[in-house]
Amino acid sequence: MNRFRSVTILCLLLSSTIANADSGTWSVVKQSFKNSTDQQQSGHFYKVDAIKLKQQLSRATHEGRSAAISQIELPVRNGVVESFTVEESPIMAASLAAKYPDIKTYKIHGVDNPYASGRLSMGPNGFHGMITDSTGTFYIDPDSENIYRAYGKKSQNKSEPFNCGVVGHNHESPLGVTAARSASRSAGSLRVYRLAVAATTEYVSVIGDPDKATEEIIAAITRVNEIYQRDLGIKLELIANNDDLLETSGNLPVAYSNEDSNAMLGENQQNIDAVIGFSNYDIGHVFGTSGSSGGDGVAYVGSVCDNPIKIENRVKAGGVTGHPNPVGDAYYIDFVAHEIGHQFSGEHTFNGSSGACFGDPRMPAQAFEPGSGSTIMSYAGICSAEDIVDHADAMFHAGSIELIDIFTDELGRDVTCGGGNIILNNSKPQVDESSDYKIPRKTPFILTATGTDADSDAITYAWDQMDAGTATSAISLGADFGDNALFRSYLPQADNFRHFPALGTTLQNKYDDSENLACQSRDLNFRVTVRDGNSGIGRDDLLLTVDNDSGPFEITSFNSSETISLDSVDITWDVANTDIAPVSCTEVDISLLTFNTTKTTYSETMLTQNVTNNGSASVTLPDSSNSKARFKIQCSD
């Protein structure tokens, strides 16, 4: 069930703590910038014991064959080193893996933090890691010989300009073939798609040589797979002779027009069909270095496994991603995962209209995210004054998940093509059905969900607003037009509740434009997605109806910092018609939030319950002292 009405007051600035640690494998060293593109980039630098690291990885069992019992130590955030179970998780076809025996890929799961998961790749040119938990996404990348940079998503520089084009097409099935349909994603299975990734001469040159380019492509797809497997139940596997698609000195039938992404759509189709064979792959993509001032990408929407009657209509290799510096998370996640998302039918999810968000890129039916948005199919960091984050978070919006699920399930893409399904020993999480509510305008609220997992997996929760409405601009970002999304998405969290807006901003009475309260009568549609980290998801929808004739429901006493030494105090609040229909909140609960000295955590003490919602009450304070306490009043039901 969902408890939605709450008010918090006064100011609080949340901060984080920093802890440093060394391990037997990783030791902190002085900051280095040998391979960093910007000396303002932050993070922690480590020297790795390469022999010990390889020994830890060599003991990893093969994914799915037995329980993961091997462990590895990895740096995550702020100098902290944590333990993870590790399994070998190949993303290359067997014959391609045989050509490159020194390149391995792995799946990890947190031991110290069960909500953490990620992917690793190891090869002759170094080690790459991606770890996601409820606090963010963290990366480990080479800096120099045996020196690695561990950094968080937030420590990266703002995204450079990126031009993303999408091309629609009609799905044309061969005569006599009907697409199979299924009601929903199959539980306990992972869909495998055969991926062909080509590369331009310029890309190979920037990376170094064909072998290094192959290793870099594997690092990119390893990270893409972490998100696709967790959110979509999709695994991308590089085809057997993928290394034949790396352009060097005219070895491919058609030379790539590296600076013309639109031209490369057709060129890539011709090259992959000629070198690999049309029936030997499901999705094709090409990496380049186009976009002198940032990046460049274009893709046919919903083109995976496309099998038209006419050869000239083939587009399943129609995906291009280019960037002058085609390495690292900004390229892998913000760009590559985004363009491949289009090929799986994902549409843009931002609702802004500034900068790169202006014009055709906005998709009105999928414009679920305020401003530039923050998920993979958004335009995070490239929409000028409407940017709400600098980089995309490593997650798909619930609307994107639904759209891609429909494409892969109902259109039968898992039946008509692909490398087959991998049966997983996993049950998807279940979510209790929630109730709909009436809420007052301009009043913070809390949404709560109850999820369960038969496998006892550590499940996470993410709430996404599902309202696609009127576009905003640089001037109107955060405005309530009555139909547009007001609340941004956040990475999946361990907590089964979310404050709207975030508690930190509510306590300061200062709201940002990515989380704004409704100020008129309207509907707010939300979806909670519960992930188990093993390709299983559950979800539930709920509707909040905002009443313009009630609210704001807010505390009117203690509106400034005040020292209280009394056992009992009187609290007042503005009922604002919340006690009558349609909100009908006849009773309230009053609690005290007390924060730790570093302002990172809080505890809640219930002071009184089921008090008549008449605007005043006397409460008894606990026998303790705290310099960072806040009152909260919420509806009892």
122 and 205 inside one domain? no
| Residues 179, 80 share a domain | no
Task: Name the least confident of 126-130, 171-175, 237-241, 494-498.
Answer: 171-175
- CB distance 156 to 391 below 8 Å: yes
The pLDDT of residue 18 is above 50: no
Q: Which residues pair with 137 in a beta bridge?
A: 132
Tell me if 335 sits within 8 A of 297, measured CB to CB.
yes
Residue matched to tokens 């509707």: 543
* DSSP designation for 84: E
CB 86 within 8 A of CB 120: yes
522-531 and 537-547 beta bridge pairing = antiparallel
The domain boundary, picked from 155, 189, 221, lies at 155
Q: What's the pLDDT band for 507 if we cut at 50, 70, 90?
A: confident
Res. 174: pLDDT tops 50 = no
* pLDDT on residue 418: 73
Is residue 552 reached through a cis peptide bond, with omega within 30 degrees of 0 on the bond before it?
Answer: yes
Residues 6 or more apart in contact with residue 66 via CB below 8 angstroms? none
Question: What is the reported pLDDT for 293?
Answer: 55
Q: Lowest-pLDDT range, 96-100, 264-268, 368-372, 554-558? A: 554-558
Give the model's confidence band at 77: pLDDT under 50 very low, under 70 low, under 90 confident, else very high: confident
Length in residues, the chain? 637
SS3 33: coil
The tokens describing 75, both together, are: 């740096």
Q: Is the peptide bond before 501 cis (omega within 30 degrees of 0)?
A: yes
CA distances from 604 to 19, 160, 577, 592, 630 (A): 26, 42, 27, 6, 10
Q: What is the pLDDT of residue 584?
A: 97
Inside any domain, residue 289: yes
Model pTM?
0.91
Written as six digits, the tokens of 598 are 């570093």
Instruction: State the CB neighbour count (10 A cutoff) for residue 34.
Output: 10
In a domain, 363, yes or no: no
What is the rounded CA–CA span in Å between residue 451 and residue 130? 26
Q: What is the mean pLDDT of residues 75-104?
A: 93
Same-domain pairing of 123 and 213 = no
Cα distance between residue 376 and residue 404, in whole Å: 13
Query: pLDDT value at position 249?
Result: 86
Domain of 568? 1-20+426-637
Q: Which residue has the higher pLDDT, 176 or 147?
A: 147
pLDDT(32) > 80: no
What average pLDDT does the segment 14-40 reach? 55
Whether residue 471 contacts residue 491, with contact meaning beta carbons closer than 8 Å, is answered with no
539 and 614 housed in the same domain: yes
The one-letter code for the residue type at 109 is H
Q: Which tokens hold the place of 204?
A: 């190979």
> What does the pLDDT read at residue 134?
83
Least confident piece of the model among 181-185, 223-227, 391-395? 181-185
Query: Which of 155, 189, 218 delimits the end of a domain?
Result: 155
- Average the pLDDT over 200-212 and give the result: 97
Overall number of domains in the chain:
3
137 within a domain of the structure (yes/no):
yes
The answer to whether residue 64 sits within a structural domain is yes
Residue 367: pLDDT band with limits 50, 70, 90: very high
Q: Is residue 186 a contact partner of residue 421, using CB atoms and an 8 Å limit? A: yes
My answer on whether 585 and 501 are in the same domain is: yes
Whichever domain contains 278, its CATH number is 3.40.390.10
The reported pLDDT for the residue numbered 411 is: 58
Instruction: Please write the tens of the pLDDT for every residue from 429-476.
Output: 999 999 999 999 999 999 999 999 999 999 999 999 999 999 999 999
- The values of phi and psi at residue 368, to 5°, are -90, -10
Q: Where are the alpha helices (DSSP H) in 444-548?
A: 503-508
| 376 lies in some domain | no
Mean pLDDT of 24-41: 66
What is the Cα–Cα distance from 102 to 125, expressed in whole angstroms? Answer: 10
Residues 435 and 487 in one domain: yes
Residue 515 and residue 483 in one domain: yes
How would residue 625 be classed by pLDDT, with cut points 50, 70 and 90?
Answer: confident
pLDDT in tens, 101-138: 999 999 999 999 999 999 999 999 999 999 998 888 99
Q: Please name the helix (run of DSSP H) or strand (run of DSSP E) that holds residue 432, with its range, or none.
A: none
Are 285 and 340 in the same domain?
yes
106 closest CA partner among 63, 59, 141: 63
Give the residue carrying structure tokens 């919006």.
397
pLDDT digits (tens, 9 = 90+) for 180-197: 333 345 556 789 999 999
Please check whether residue 376 is in contact with residue 321, taking contact to mean a CB–CB distance below 8 angstroms: no
Residue 21 banded pLDDT, cuts 50, 70, 90: very low
The reply to whether 300 and 179 lie within a common domain is yes
- Of 50-64, 91-105, 167-181, 229-243, minimum mean pLDDT range: 167-181
Does 16 have pLDDT greater than 50? no
* pLDDT at 558 (0 to 100): 86
Domain for residue 434, yes or no? yes
Q: Is the pLDDT of residue 40 over 70?
A: no
In sequence order, what E strands does 437-567 have?
437-440, 445-448, 451-452, 460-465, 497-500, 522-531, 537-547, 554-555
The tally of CA atoms less than 13 A away on the side-chain side of residue 616 is: 2
| Residue 386 resides in a domain | no
Instruction: Determine, yes or no, domain membership for 527.
Output: yes
CATH of the domain at 630: 2.60.40.10
Residues 6 or more apart whose Cβ sits within 8 Å of residue 244? 275, 276
Q: Are 204 and 286 in contact (CB under 8 A)?
A: no
pLDDT band at residue 281 using 50, 70 and 90 as cut-offs: very high
- To the nearest whole number, what is the mean pLDDT of the chain? 87
Do both 86 and 225 map to the same domain?
Answer: no
Band the pLDDT of 629: cuts 50, 70, 90: confident
Question: DSSP alpha helices (H): ranges in 472-563?
Answer: 503-508
Of 104, 123, 155, the residue that ends a domain is: 155
594 and 463 in a common domain: yes
Q: Are residues 628 and 494 in the same domain?
A: yes
Helix, strand or coil, per DSSP, at residue 166: strand
What is the rounded CA–CA span in Å between residue 427 and residue 454? Answer: 6
pLDDT exceeding 70 applies to what percent of the chain? Answer: 86
What per-residue confidence (pLDDT) applies to 322?
94
Residue range 142-162, pLDDT digits in tens:
988 889 999 987 655 555 555
